[in-house]
Structure 1
Amino acid sequence: AVIMQALGSGKGTVSSRITQHFELKHLSSGDLLRDNMLRGTETGVTLPQAEALDKAYQIDTVINLNVPFEVIKQRLTARWIPPASGRVYNMEFDPPQTVGIDDVTGEPLIQREDDRPQTVIKRLKAYEAQTKPIWPQVYSFLQTKVPQTNQKASVTP
């Protein structure tokens, strides 16, 4: 299965819960990029990346998390971390015991550049632009994978 959606939508959380309950392995896009299997941007999957993924793994399910960008922005901009460990606190639903201080080490928390509002908005806009459905590419790709059931209803791009 592949889980799709923008940064901060909960893919990691959902993936970890799936692996706790099912005999499945979790690979993040970051893992795949580090392994040089899928080279490209972190914000979306291109057609060549999807084809490489299809060749490497048997994928029969795609889960698209439908999380509004405003909710994602709110989640990400509430994240703070202690730089040394990278432990994540969310000021709305998982705050530290003392505001601005790591519970374990006592070091000050910082907000990563990626979690600042301007950066989050920029990254979400990039994700949206790169992952908008493009029917001609979807149609061409599916023609190579799935037999058509209704030739008359299949309007070519």
Structure 2
Amino acid sequence: MSTAATNIRTKLRKAARVILVGPPGSGKGTQSGRLLDHFKMSAISSGDILRENIRNRTPLGVEAESIIQRGGLVNDSTMVKLIVGELSKRGWVESRSTLTSGITATGALSIMGHESKHTRLATSNSPSSSFLLDGFPRTVGQAKSLDDEVDMNFVVNLDVPRDVILERIANRMVHVPSGRVYNMTWNPPKVLGIDDVTGEPLTRRPDDCPETFAKRLKAYDESTAPLLEYYDKVGLLWTVSGKSSDEITPQLDEEIMRRFG
């Protein structure tokens, strides 16, 4: 780790609870990894939490599995309960052991034996409680459900020109088993078409042709615009622009330090 990164990691004075929003191909994975490294955050993946609860046969996991098996989507309130339950387990929101109100076995908020969906839980402000929420929320309804329970405090919107994203996608190849991604322009494999680590062949994702991806970007813009508008209205949205991850990262690091350092 560089000295600069080490210095950054020692300067946060309060918890950053971050949501990262950006279109496919904008570099969310790269920025997430750098945030976790630079600021010693933890990644909270809604998908991982869901799968863990299903695997462990928790009450919410059984409920979610039943919905999925019927071909449905896990509802927003269930997903929020799963996330709040994970945060409570880590000690980042106050639980029943320390508050009269806390998390029940199902993850809902309970006050004197009665459930309430609209009393926000007390969140830890320790820098060690900083986390990046991955994969949730994706809609305004999900955002409102989350906001009822958890005091998120920073929403980052990655603004990357669409022509830059399409160029990235046209030059992208992946090693499917590991998820390693290469770009033939700025991050090529050592041997054309071959994964550096395993020597196995690289492939292109089926939907990585520019025409298909352009449709995905349009659909993303239409579905995400209301979410960005919501977070802008509540004063949490911050947009960072750049053509590359290396342009965006210094701006993002500086803003994190301004808000939480």
**Alpha carbons of 1:102 and 1:138: their partners in 2 closer, same or farther (altered >3 Å)?**
closer
Once the two structures are TM-superposed, the CA of residue 85 in structure 1 deviates from its matched residue by 2.9
Question: What does residue 40 of structure 2 align with?
Answer: 23
Q: Which runs of 5+ in 2 are unaligned?
A: 1-17, 54-73, 81-134, 235-261
TM-score when scaled to structure 1? Answer: 0.70
TM-score when scaled to structure 2? Answer: 0.45
Question: What does residue 189 of structure 2 align with?
Answer: 96
Bigger strand fraction: 2
Which portions of structure 1, spanning 4 or more consecutive aligned residues, are displaced by more than 4 angstroms? Answer: 28-36
Matched position secondary structure for 1:122: helix
Query: 2:103 aligned with 1:86, yes or no?
Result: no
Q: Is the 8 A contact 1:96 1:102 kept in 2?
A: yes
Residue identity opposite 1:52 in structure 2: S
Which of 157, 168, 178 is 1:75 aligned to?
168
C-alpha distance in 2, partners of 1:18/1:134? 22
% identical aligned pairs: 47
Matched position secondary structure for 2:20: strand
**Alpha carbons of 1:27 and 1:74: their partners in 2 closer, same or farther (altered >3 Å)?**
farther
Query: 2:133 aligned with 1:116, yes or no?
Result: no
Q: Which runs of 5+ in 1 are unaligned?
A: 143-157
Once the two structures are TM-superposed, the CA of residue 56 in structure 1 deviates from its matched residue by 4.8
C-alpha distance in 1, partners of 2:39/2:227? 33
Q: Aligned residues, how many?
A: 136
Q: Is the 8 A contact 1:4 1:62 kept in 2?
A: yes
Which of 118, 125, 139 is 2:218 aligned to?
125
C-alpha distance in 2, partners of 1:132/1:103? 38
Larger Rg: 2
Once the two structures are TM-superposed, the CA of residue 32 in structure 1 deviates from its matched residue by 6.7
Q: Is the 8 A contact 2:36 2:43 kept in 1?
A: yes
Matched position secondary structure for 1:72: helix
C-alpha distance in 2, partners of 1:53/1:5? 19
Alignment of 1:3-82 (within 5 A): 3-28=20-45, 30-31=47-48, 36=74, 37=79, 45-82=138-175
- Bigger relative contact order (CA 8 A; separation at least 6): 2
When the two chains are superposed, the root-mean-square deviation of aligned CA atoms in Å is 3.0
Matched position secondary structure for 2:44: coil
